[in-house]
Amino acid sequence: MSKKPGVIRRVFRFIGNVVSAIRYMISLLIVVFFIAVVAGLFVDDIQPMPDRGALYLAPSGDLVDQRSYIDPLAELFSQNSQHDAETLVRDIVDALDQAQYDQRITHILLDTNYMSSASIAKLEEISNAMQRFKQSGKPIIAIGDNFSQAQYFLAAHADEVILNPMGRIMLTGFGAYSSFYKEALDKLKINMHIFRVGKYKSAIEPYLGNGMSPEARQDRRDLIGSLWQYYSSKIEQLRGLPKGAINDLANNMHLRLAEENGDIAALALKQGLVDRIATRSETHAYLKQILPQNNGDFATIPMSAYLGHVKLGLLKAANPHKPEIAVVVASGTILDGNQPEGTVGGDSLAEVFAGIEEDDQVKAVVLRIDSPGGSAFASDVIRDAIAAVRKKDIPVVVSMGSYAASGGYWIATESDRILAQATTITGSIGVYGVIPTFEDSLKALGVYSDGVATTNIAGMLQIDRPMSSETAMIMQSGVEHVYARFLKLVADARNSTPEAVHKIAQGRVWNGEKALQLGLVDELGDLKDAINSAASLAGVSDYNVNYRHKPLSFAEQIMMQISGNMSASVKALGLSSWLPTTLQRHWSAAIKPLRLLDTLNDPNHIYLYCDSCPI
């Protein structure tokens, strides 16, 4: 019999086995990873185009002007749905405009079930495209298990709206509410030092009291009132309802619903909001009757696949030597430095404009602004970069999206023409600064700050010390200087005077229609109109439209490609989530306060931000 190994040998043999097992597991994970990557390369995202069929329009997630950049590795572990978290508005508009003249497309099948949210201005832009499509005489059919206000706005454009009998349409009107923290801050002994110019600049009001000021209340009431008027009158027009019907329904929903014994679907049918009540199976059977057939079912092609076919066709016919209209999107809060897409980085966007400045093929630029503002310093960095492009005799046209206010309007002043939509939120020409100090909070815990300094303002922004009167005067002077500069920029851009601009400024917000009357914009129009305007200013009629993006490093491009292939594989395999939904939701809520801190990065602590914009 062989001799039994010693204890030390057995320990090392065990450790060796563990190391080998770990090595094999890592190797297996790497193999699985690359199999998934390769599999993603062969996932066919573009299905065959039917000879005749319906364009299946099913926007998902939030409707946006620019997709938010998500770290590729983080994206791999956040596949919480087989549907996209964001849908580009221009994709929907392009699909509708192409389908209008495409003989293969016989209907639009609009499914809003996967759409999360959209601002009224984005809905207005899609509305324009849907009304252009309707000129073709092709029917639009809208289906939905339920309709939110945003979803129903799109559905109301349909020739026929079908609602699930267990579904509902809730038209509740618009509200704008904020939380106020003054009492909580007092209890926590946190001192908020506020500096502002403009009695309507309400972004800092939550730190000043327990409710809205009369000026902020009036300003916000006027704004949401005008937006609700647009929404309700548009629905009434599209559905052939009497004037005031939508407002009456919202105010008397409780009474109308009681008359229908709580059946919201029946109420929607009775009020003329929908044309048919049908379960999913009944809806499917009905669609089989009215839509073109394909292999025993009705023929459809998803929007993404349809756009793939369209782009392939355009690519084959494209002339790369034609003049170019560059479209630059500034979407999100304006922050200092380099920032990912989905926010507006001062340095990032300036770099994009620097590239345009050196490109001889670019004959005009359209700057699409969808921002409530942010850092004053970053806003001026962007404005300066746009000015350098205009000095090259390249016209710049601004297209305002959901909002282009405060810092968003600051960068719009450097342009040859400004177009806004009727429901765009703009203005908010005002400035504020806010710096918290925690000396009283720390004192309550027995923590004190002491030391020596060479001047009265040394350590002026230390949050563990009281703010000196000298520091407060410096901050207020800075805020007033930036406001005076803001007024002059607007006055020079709009052929006015700082005194005249001040009367409509002071942080007040306006919708696009009112902004046109006040001379803050030149005309009403969407992105398509802005591109046409830019081409006209440049004197070109045959041109390519090129969307410019923040340059990515080689490593970022590789990782995004891998992430995209992995995502395609996950969807193809029918896997909807790598992490439990509950865990994702709690994780997102946990880091939300950290995300909010990211907006406070102006080097001078001076902000051009419109808190009324994301309504």
Q: In this predicted model, what pLDDT tens digit does every residue of 453-473 receive, in sequence order?
A: 898 888 888 889 999 899 999
Query: Can you name the residues that pair with 398 across neighbouring β-strands?
Result: 367, 418
Same structural domain for residues 294 and 370?
no
Same structural domain for residues 83 and 117?
yes
In CATH, what number is assigned to the domain containing residue 534?
3.90.226.10
Q: In this predicted model, what pLDDT tens digit does every residue of 567-583 receive, in sequence order?
A: 454 444 444 444 454 44
State the chain's mean pLDDT as an integer.
86
Q: What is the pLDDT of residue 458?
A: 87
Q: What is the pLDDT of residue 304?
A: 92
Centroid of chain to Cα 295 = 39
> Averaged over 479-493, what is the pLDDT?
96
Torsion of CA 161, 162, 165, 169, to 10 degrees: -30
In angstroms, the CA 243 to CA 256 distance is 18
Q: What is the pLDDT of residue 334?
A: 95
Q: What is the pLDDT of residue 18?
A: 74
Q: In this predicted model, what pLDDT tens digit does every residue of 295-317 receive, in sequence order?
A: 889 999 999 999 999 888 777 76
Q: Which of 343, 513, 422, 484 is nearest to 119 (CA)?
A: 422
What is the CB neighbour count within 10 angstroms for residue 240? 8
Task: Determine, yes or no, domain membership for 206.
Answer: no
Task: Determine, yes or no, domain membership for 186.
Answer: no
Task: Determine, yes or no, domain membership for 200.
Answer: no
Task: Determine, yes or no, domain membership for 524.
Answer: yes
Q: What is the pLDDT of residue 553?
A: 58
Q: What is the pLDDT of residue 13?
A: 72
Q: In this predicted model, what pLDDT tens digit does every residue of 380-411 receive, in sequence order?
A: 999 999 999 999 999 999 999 999 999 999 99
Same structural domain for residues 289 and 223?
yes
Q: What is the pLDDT of residue 599?
A: 61
Q: Is the confidence at residue 552, as pLDDT, over 90? A: no
Q: Which of 11-25, 210-224, 353-367, 505-519 has the lowest mean pLDDT?
A: 11-25
> Averaged over 485-514, what is the pLDDT?
96
pLDDT bucket at 282, cuts 50 / 70 / 90: very high
Task: Determine, yes or no, domain membership for 323.
Answer: yes
Total domains in the fold of the chain: 2
Domain that holds residue 332: 319-552+602-609
In the chain, what percentage of residues exceed pLDDT 90? 63
Residue 442 tokens, joined: 């720390």
Same structural domain for residues 306 and 341?
no
Task: Classify 324 as helix, strand or coil.
Answer: strand
In angstroms, the CA 609 to CA 331 distance is 14
* Final residue belonging to a domain, choices 289, 310, 331: 310
Q: Is the confidence at residue 182, as pLDDT, over 70? A: yes
pLDDT bucket at 150, cuts 50 / 70 / 90: very high
Same structural domain for residues 372 and 297?
no
| Contacts with 26 (C-beta within 8 Å, 6 or more apart), sequence order | none
In angstroms, the CA 524 to CA 485 distance is 27
* Final residue belonging to a domain, choices 310, 345, 371: 310
Query: Can you name the residues that pair with 545 across neighbouring β-strands?
Result: 325
> How far lies 340's CA from each of 85, 333, 336, 372, in Å?
17, 11, 12, 17
Q: Which of 124-128, 530-534, 606-610 has the lowest mean pLDDT?
A: 606-610
Same structural domain for residues 127 and 168?
yes
Centroid of chain to Cα 63 = 7
Q: Higher-confidence residue: 39 or 519?
A: 519
Q: In this predicted model, what pLDDT tens digit does every residue of 428-447 receive, in sequence order?
A: 999 998 888 999 999 999 99
> Averaged over 587-592, what is the pLDDT?
44
Same structural domain for residues 100 and 160?
yes
Same structural domain for residues 302 and 373?
no
Q: What is the pLDDT of residue 167?
A: 95
In angstroms, the CA 246 to CA 160 distance is 19
Task: Determine, yes or no, domain membership for 199.
Answer: no
Task: Determine, yes or no, domain membership for 489.
Answer: yes
Same structural domain for residues 157 and 221?
yes
Centroid of chain to Cα 445 = 42
Same structural domain for residues 453 and 305?
no
* Final residue belonging to a domain, choices 275, 310, 345: 310
> Averaged over 69-89, what is the pLDDT?
64
Same structural domain for residues 352 and 282?
no
Question: Which are the catalytic amino acids?
Answer: 201, 406
Q: Which of 18-22, 142-146, 284-288, 590-594 has the lowest mean pLDDT?
A: 590-594
Same structural domain for residues 469 and 503?
yes
Q: Which of 373, 476, 371 is nearest to 432 (CA)?
A: 476
